[in-house]
Structure 1
Amino acid sequence: MVYRGKPSGACERCRSRRLKCDQGIPSCSACIRARVDCPGYRNRLDLGFRDQNDEVISRAQRSARKKRSAALTPVSVEESGSGTLSFSPRNNLEFPAQDLAKGYFFSHYITGGLEGGHMSYLLPLIADPGNVAVNSALNAVGLAALSNIRLSPQMMLKARREYTNALSETNQALANIAMSKRDDTLAAVVLLGMFEVLTCSDGSFIDRWMKHMEGATKLIEFRGVDQLGRREGLDLFTQLRAQIHIGKIYQERYSSPLLFQLSENAMRYRDSNDHIVDELGLEVIRLSNFCASMKDGSVTDPGEIIRTALTIDANLTSLFISVPAAWSYRTVRVPVYNGEAITRAVWGDTYHIYGSLASSSVWNNYRSARILVHELIIDTVKTLEASASEDTDRRRQSALDSQSRLIAHQLVEDICASVPFNLGAGIEVSEETDIEGPAPFRVTGAGGFSLMWPLLIAGNSGLACQELRQWIIDCLEKIGHSMGINQALAMAHLLRRGMRSRAWISEDGTSSSDGCIGVTGH
């Protein structure tokens, strides 16, 4: 992408008349003076965001044509029976849509972008054509994403057929003790969950998703410690554990002791530099159990709630004071051109660069947990204010409230600073000319999946100003439309309505009839 100067943020009327626009909300002063309705402003992310879905597929098609140049007729995966992954050279009915689906999934979740390898554990599992469930589930996910992006009912019909086949095969595998412990069976469960996230369209989705997570929890517990000794098993456990954690916190339910034990054992099979993943997991389990104890009335004393919350926050902070180099990140200032930042696709004047998507996800899970902790502290302090009898008590409570708000606000800003990296954006500087310019967004579904829950928590924290909240909504909508992930659109809808993030969970732990949200994470 060549830098063409900073795009105007003026309203449409001011741009067309070349007037100076103060970009006021809800109407600029120029429109107010002219006594006309201000037409509003362009989406800030649209100014620096380039969707490359078609480009990715086009590259895959060109590569496929080169590989097949010697062949007289194309052979699909189904026809050859070899299980070899191939891309369709043309996007029409002459070639199987499954090839397009696999190409999309590989580009967005396995090899795409700066964070390639996010789900690389799937490679040896789908290489075996005998693993029907996981291959059908992968096809379903790829087709569903492409259907959402291209608004194609035909592709969605094929996606649902693949989903039905994968679900049937998975249920058969789960009925067999030996097969239920296999990695390809659990991988199929993960992909079926992804399909639910991609295709959610009504309030019943959350009920289905919660049941899906309950089944996944029982499955990884049944698989036991043996799963941790295999690379694929350890990666699957790590990915599912993050999803289970968020579900438990938002349902305010206890995590099982067995999940805690497996998290402790996982460190034995992981490189010592990666122990931060399991240490964070253990602390988040303590947080979910704490939330559950408050809901069931085991903990009611405000002083005890604040002390426990501060202890959990201190433990989380201590974990990330000094992390191995592979898990660290650096803060970069947005380059300035003629005295102004070159892009509005970044919130503020800095953003983060991480070594991997896994690193970014761990940091955002940590930030999300601490935001929830400080929300608990802020809410509890409010209950103490009414009963405070001494000025000294009120001053202490006010200081604690201010401290929690300050910390949580910084955590919200840090989540937003991770967005450019997760969506594949960077700032390129030409070594020859030293001219700075924005790099294009290399959109990948994996980056979008890892961002959705942290963005929802940040946007709903009550610590984001209206402008930042709208920026977060824009991010979620971009993820939804550009990556075909309906859950992100549902989250944006909740934030736009100003709902509390737990409002879609009723007292009995099931979803309300309005909205649909699932859980993702690394």
Structure 2
Amino acid sequence: MVYCGPPSKGCQTCREKKVRCDQRPGGCIRCAKARRECPGYRNQSDLMFRNESTEVVRKAKAKAASKSRSASPGFKSSTPPPPPQSPFPEHDRESSLILGRRNDSPNPTPSNSYYSMAPTIDEKATGFFVTNYIINMDRRPGNSAGYRMDDNLSNCMKAVGLAALASAAHAPELVQEAHRRYLSAIKLTNAALGSPVDVKKDSTLLAIMLLSVFETVTSGRQRSLSAWTNHINGAAAVIKVRGPEQLASIGGVRMFMQVTASLTVSCLEVGMALPEHILALNAQITRHADLSDPAWRYYETMMMLTNFRGHVRCGLISNPQEILARALEIDKAALAICANASCVYEYETVYTSADPGVIFAGYYHMYHDYMSASVWNGMRAIRLMLQEIIRDTLLKLHSSRPPFSTNEQYRAQYQASTSTLYQVQSDIIASVPQHLGYSPTKSTSGGVSGHSFPWSPFNSRVVTPLHSLKSNSADPPMIRSLGGYGLPWAIYLAGSVDIATEPVQKWAIGTLQGIGRSMGIQQAIVLADKLNKKNTGV
């Protein structure tokens, strides 16, 4: 089995016609224009391995026949026969994407060929990781002249790949091996952190980010959230050591933004503001940002919310009037995240009575791609937290003298915030079915065959909201640094707000548990337990 590049993601009709497919959810536009039913898209995970057994056997038999002819009387050759050519490129073998091994037997035969057809568990894990956790598949790790993996990053990739593969293949025996790789990666990471040279390497920062992803997909216990937070804090510390030099390339800026995005989630959960060194470095990349890009707007607004919430929590901002004014200001910025955005940020509302256990209110949303859905849900999560702060502040004013109920403006704001909470909560709930594989042409869950991730049912679109910086061959691969944690987090927020009804709470808990079981995101189960305890008061 050889690596033949990323397989086409287009529908069968477009592949047969050899034309570009837009991969629109629910059916491509070419099929729609031709008024034919789109056959749908293949699950990329199912295409990760390709059976080359027949071809290898054919080559082995051909070589055996060639040797037989050369050994027969009267057969002479003026030139020595060329050495057997490996069907596995050398660079692919080095990057662990090759799925075969050289057989060192001195006397190969057709039944004992030069290559074993069974991929090792490490090769399976790496292949699974590359297919599902690296976003820019056209640039595989270790496949460029400037960027090469070290043992530390390789172990982290294999640990995450094994953990995810254990869930996908329902193979709990792989979990132990995944943890062994994880412990090995931690040992190597600690060694790198002690080196003044290695601590600044891209591979070290990437490795720490992958350690946090490992915690997301493996442990369904509360301590995994603490371990995840520790890894994120460690990445933030490495960011500080790397200094401004890391922002000279788009790869360095991208990793900085990914660490910062994860750090905002961690800080929001504990009520802390972002570290000063993160804010100082972030100010330097603003000049490279596309300020009109919704992804950048969301990134900046998340940072504003994180600092505001941390300052309120520690008492740095305590005046109710100031809290209200700042919360409304950030909410206005959040509302503008997707305003006047390109058509890829538009979504369709689909009404159906199918499967009310998943499609909660009889309708759901269809987004163009995973990035669009993530930005929309991120904006909604921001507004949920802000509206709760606004309502809590207004309730405190109500207990003051004179009470806020005598102020018509405050009463109107309280009602508006309550309405916003209900609307944003409903929108988050409506975004979930597509993540689970629903589309207008598939009325039941599991629209994606076999194991899937939150991003599996979506079109792929890489967004880096920066300009004036160019990528190069030395840039590290772009990974899914949150490991799918964004969707469970949004569902948890929707189920934990004060206005959540009992049916919504039960739906959120059940959906989080289902995501943990079916997508291998074990921290979703932690959030389900946390939500259940919050709602029951246990």
Residues 1:84 and 1:296: Cα distance change in structure 2 (over 3 Å): closer
Question: What is the one-letter code of the residue matched to 2:189?
Answer: T
Q: Could you tell me which residue of structure 2 aligns to residue 469 of structure 1?
A: 505
Cα offset, 1:76, TM superposition: 11
2:128 aligned with 1:104, yes or no? yes
CA contact (8 A) 1:350 1:417 kept: yes
Residues 1:365 and 1:345: Cα distance change in structure 2 (over 3 Å): same
Cα distance in 2, alignment partners of residues 181 and 216 from structure 1: 11
CA contact (8 A) 1:480 1:488 kept: yes
Cα distance in 1, alignment partners of residues 357 and 52 from structure 2: 37
Cα offset, 1:365, TM superposition: 1.5
CA contact (8 A) 2:398 2:405 kept: no
CA contact (8 A) 2:391 2:414 kept: yes
2:335 to 281, 292, 317: 317
Residues 1:98 and 1:385: Cα distance change in structure 2 (over 3 Å): same
Helix, strand or coil for the counterpart of 1:418? helix
CA contact (8 A) 1:197 1:486 kept: yes
Residues 153-198 of structure 1: per-residue CA shift (max 9 Å, x gap): 4311211121122222222222233332222221111111111122
Helix, strand or coil for the counterpart of 2:360? coil
Helix, strand or coil for the counterpart of 1:440? coil
Cα distance in 2, alignment partners of residues 342 and 283 from structure 1: 35
Cα offset, 1:68, TM superposition: 5.6
Cα distance in 1, alignment partners of residues 394 and 291 from structure 2: 39
CA contact (8 A) 1:385 1:397 kept: no
TM-score, normalization by structure 1: 0.71
Cα offset, 1:141, TM superposition: 0.7
| Structure ranking higher on relative contact order (CA contacts 8 Å, 6+ apart) | 1
Cα offset, 1:477, TM superposition: 1.6
Cα distance in 2, alignment partners of residues 278 and 391 from structure 1: 37
Helix, strand or coil for the counterpart of 2:94? coil
Q: Could you tell me which residue of structure 2 aligns to residue 302 of structure 1?
A: 320
CA contact (8 A) 1:331 1:350 kept: no
Instruction: In structure 1, list runs of 5 or more residues that go unmatched.
Output: 1-51, 111-116, 430-435, 504-513, 515-522
Question: What is the one-letter code of the residue matched to 2:338?
Answer: F
Which residues in structure 2 correspond to 1:149-168 (within 5 Å)?
Answer: 149=168, 152-168=171-187
Which piece of structure 1 moves more, 150-159 or 360-369? Answer: 150-159
Residues 251-303 of structure 1: per-residue CA shift (max 9 Å, x gap): 111212332233333344455653x3333333322222222222222222222
Question: What is the one-letter code of the residue matched to 1:458?
Answer: A
Which residues in structure 2 correspond to 1:418-497 (within 5 Å)?
Answer: 418-428=431-441, 440-441=447-448, 444-445=452-453, 447=455, 448-497=484-533
2:428 aligned with 1:415, yes or no? yes
CA contact (8 A) 2:358 2:433 kept: yes
Cα distance in 1, alignment partners of residues 403 and 246 from structure 2: 57
Question: What is the one-letter code of the residue matched to 1:482?
Answer: S
Cα distance in 1, alignment partners of residues 399 and 243 from structure 2: 49
Which residues in structure 2 correspond to 1:98-497 (within 5 Å)?
Answer: 98-110=122-134, 117=135, 120=137, 123-125=140-142, 130-149=149-168, 152-270=171-289, 274=293, 276-326=294-344, 328-334=345-351, 340-341=353-354, 345-389=358-402, 393=406, 395-428=408-441, 440-441=447-448, 444-445=452-453, 447=455, 448-497=484-533
Helix, strand or coil for the counterpart of 2:340? coil
Residues 1:385 and 1:272: Cα distance change in structure 2 (over 3 Å): closer
Cα offset, 1:465, TM superposition: 2.4
Cα distance in 2, alignment partners of residues 253 and 482 from structure 1: 32
CA contact (8 A) 2:436 2:446 kept: no
Question: What is the one-letter code of the residue matched to 2:48?
Answer: A
Cα distance in 2, alignment partners of residues 193 and 205 from structure 1: 9
Cα distance in 2, alignment partners of residues 141 and 371 from structure 1: 32
Cα distance in 2, alignment partners of residues 423 and 306 from structure 1: 37
CA contact (8 A) 2:512 2:527 kept: yes
Cα offset, 1:374, TM superposition: 0.6
Which piece of structure 1 moves more, 476-485 or 281-290? Answer: 281-290
Residues 360-406 of structure 1: per-residue CA shift (max 9 Å, x gap): 22222221111101101111122222225368626443322211111
Instruction: In structure 2, list runs of 5 or more residues that go unmatched.
Output: 1-40, 62-85, 102-115, 456-483
Helix, strand or coil for the counterpart of 2:359? coil
Cα offset, 1:333, TM superposition: 1.9
Q: Could you tell me which residue of structure 2 aligns to residue 17 of structure 1?
A: none
Cα offset, 1:317, TM superposition: 1.9
Cα distance in 2, alignment partners of residues 424 and 146 from structure 1: 19
Q: Could you tell me which residue of structure 2 aligns to residue 3 of structure 1?
A: none
Residues 1:391 and 1:164: Cα distance change in structure 2 (over 3 Å): closer
Q: Could you tell me which residue of structure 2 aligns to residue 113 of structure 1?
A: none
Helix, strand or coil for the counterpart of 1:331? strand
Residues 1:71 and 1:235: Cα distance change in structure 2 (over 3 Å): farther
CA contact (8 A) 1:76 1:96 kept: no
Cα offset, 1:341, TM superposition: 4.9
Residues 1:279 and 1:416: Cα distance change in structure 2 (over 3 Å): same
Cα offset, 1:491, TM superposition: 0.9
Which piece of structure 1 moves more, 262-271 or 61-70? Answer: 61-70
Residues 1:196 and 1:381: Cα distance change in structure 2 (over 3 Å): same
Cα distance in 2, alignment partners of residues 373 and 56 from structure 1: 39
Question: What is the one-letter code of the residue matched to 2:349?
Answer: V
Cα distance in 2, alignment partners of residues 450 and 65 from structure 1: 41
Q: How many residues align?
A: 429
CA contact (8 A) 1:263 1:282 kept: no
CA contact (8 A) 1:388 1:394 kept: no
Give the structure with higher Rg (CA): 2
Cα distance in 1, alignment partners of residues 292 and 187 from structure 2: 40
Question: What is the one-letter code of the residue matched to 1:473?
Answer: I
Cα distance in 1, alignment partners of residues 54 and 357 from structure 2: 39
Residues 1:83 and 1:72: Cα distance change in structure 2 (over 3 Å): farther
Cα distance in 2, alignment partners of residues 457 and 324 from structure 1: 27
Cα distance in 2, alignment partners of residues 137 and 315 from structure 1: 37
Cα distance in 2, alignment partners of residues 402 and 269 from structure 1: 40
Percent of residue pairs identical: 26
Cα distance in 1, alignment partners of residues 57 and 452 from structure 2: 29
Cα offset, 1:437, TM superposition: 8.6
CA contact (8 A) 1:190 1:240 kept: yes
Cα distance in 2, alignment partners of residues 244 and 495 from structure 1: 22
Helix, strand or coil for the counterpart of 2:485? helix
Question: What is the one-letter code of the residue matched to 2:277?
Answer: L
1:60 to 44, 48, 51: 48
Cα offset, 1:70, TM superposition: 5.7
Cα distance in 1, alignment partners of residues 394 and 312 from structure 2: 15
CA contact (8 A) 1:121 1:231 kept: no
Cα offset, 1:250, TM superposition: 2.0
